[in-house]
Amino acid sequence: MASASPRRRELLSKLGIELLVYEPDIDESFPPGRDDYDVLCMELARRKIEAVLGRPELGDCRWFLAADTTVLVKNRVLGKPENPGEALEFLNILAGAVHTVVTGVALYDRRINKYYPDFEEARVRIAKMTKREKEWYIETGEWQGVAGGYRIQEKGALFIESIRGTYTNVMGLPMRTVYGIMRLANYPIGIKSSGNGRHRAPGK
């Protein structure tokens, strides 16, 4: 798995999948002038895989998986905040508003040199927050290393009013979508594919 996210690792481990986890060293920023974030997230997922493929210790590995998540609100992309001040700025934007979470995923089968990309979106409403609630949340440190600066599976859940979409997508790895591309790729997870797995190619 080309990711340093413990949340993604936790979700996959619940399926009984044994993982080798490597953090890809790539620029995760979006190029200016593009707003096709579904395609961009899938492209970044693929680039993460490409960044670890050459590692000699992974020479015998057949399957590679990566994901990229972004948060969109009020025509702005909220990546991973770099400091508490930026995390507070993100909270000020998110609180009392609806935002979109887009996650692109990619599964790569090295044996046949084929990528299986897909994406998922969710709409999340965060409740209005008092100044003290925002300060408290920043103090928890949960904002670090996560798009949008909040973790829905931890203390951030206290402020989530509604989700339209899947919970695991907001966590950073949409498991239904991952399952779909695994079935399409005939990944051996114990459930045979009928060949009808959902799949969208980039740009389609």
Full strand arrangement of the beta sheet holding 63-73: 76-78, 63-73, 98-109, 114-126, 160-164
- Nearest of 98, 95, 99, 100 to residue 159 by alpha carbon: 95
- Nearest of 74, 75, 96, 102 to residue 165 by alpha carbon: 102
Confirm if 80 and 73 have CB atoms less than 8 A apart.
Answer: no
Catalytic residue positions, numbered: 68
